[in-house]
């Protein structure tokens, strides 16, 4: 789920006090291109997600696990709202 990955990256950036500009620099892309990923216009590549994890100080797999947790929470919330 791209949205869950994006939200997990945003949360980890905030926790690590890393700006989107710093992430864009570490990815070697323009901030505008990075924002297209955050806005859901362009999907994240595995390499980009791995770099985001590295720059925030966690492993790729920890980031994926956090994204999965966010997706599950969202699904559970939606199920509760439709009851």
pLDDT digits (tens, 9 = 90+) for 16-60: 999 999 999 999 999 999 999 999 999 999 999 999 999 999 999
Handedness of CA 16, 33, 42, 40 (dihedral sign): positive
User: Residue 20's pLDDT is what?
Assistant: 97
Q: Does residue 1 register a pLDDT over 80?
A: no
Whether 70 shows a pLDDT value over 90: the answer reads no
Residue 16: per-residue pLDDT: 97
- Judge contact between 25 and 40, C-beta under 8 A: no
């Amino acid at each position: 789920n791209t949205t869950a990955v994006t939200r997990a990256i945003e949360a980890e950036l905030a926790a690590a006090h890393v700006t989107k500009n710093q992430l864009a620099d570490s990815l070697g892309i323009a901030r505008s291109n990075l924002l297209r990923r955050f806005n859901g216009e362009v999907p994240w590549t595995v390499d980009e997600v791995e770099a985001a994890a590295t720059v925030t100080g966690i492993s790729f797999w920890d980031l994926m696990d956090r994204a999965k947790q966010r997706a599950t929470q969202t699904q559970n919330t939606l199920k509760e709202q439709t009851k």
